[in-house]
Amino acid sequence: MKAPPRLQSLIDEGLIDTVVRQLMSGKEAMVYVVRRGEETLCAKIYKEATQRSFRQAVDYTENRKVKNSRQARAMAKGTKFGRQAAEAAWQSAEVDALYRLAAAGVRVPKPHNFWDGVLLMELVTDALGDAAPRLNDVGFTPEEARAHHGSLLKEVVRMLCAGVVHGDLSEFNILLAADGPVIIDLPQAIDAAGNNHAPRMLLRDVANLRDFFGQFAPELLATQYGPELWQLYQAGLLDTDTVLTGRFQRQQGSVDLSGVMREIDAARDEEVARRVRMQA
């Protein structure tokens, strides 16, 4: 097929040879299958902020590093330069997270390059060599659901041990490769230690996994891996070999009612937004 303008620069630079086909067009990005020599890869073209449904919410961008103080001031003021800097930081967040997580052994697509707003990375495939489906397009037996849920919990643990929370993990951004699930779509990934919203986002990520796989293995719906995970992480007791139980004993103490209500309202708003994305 004819190369889109955003991919032509990669061809001109010799980073890819040809564009095979469009794989996906979502609200956040467009993904193409491309060829480089004997390799088949995918190229993710990020859409401009004005074309995206997923806004750069302050919850996600809190404490993200920028190149210099001038950029930080411009981003805070919302100037044109600041908006451009924020957009570049948003795009590079996924690149940084992919390299960081791949180095930590997390099952994510292997990144190859990032050029002119295009992320070049591994094409995740199924047993037939075709592009792997998303979890939401696949049905599972109870045994398969339990196995995939367990393996994805291990990936969440590896991510957290690497200091990263996905922030929008669900059946819509996990691919089922020939050798198991692979986590994708990380532009909203956050720093577990540097973002005050990390606990809530981790709990939501883990709850999304529980609710999805609980459709096939209902006993998973009673588990509480999220609170258990965060408690271990906060206490410095979490590592990649930690054996989780799915049980959690809440500590007794005074309750911050206003804080609880804020968390409930935020979770409700996020669930509404997620369902809108699911229907799109």
Q: What would the two tokens of residue 172 be? A: 């819509």
Place of tokens 């339990």: 146
Nearest to 18 by CA among 10, 30, 6: 10
Which residues have a catalytic role annotated?
168, 185
End-to-end CA distance of the chain: 26
- The Cα 257–Cα 140 span in angstroms is 40
Helix (H) or strand (E) holding 34: strand 29-36
* Number of alpha carbons in the 13 Å side-chain half-sphere of residue 69: 0
- CB neighbourhood size of 70 (10 A): 12
What is the pairing mode between strands 174-177 and 180-183? Answer: antiparallel
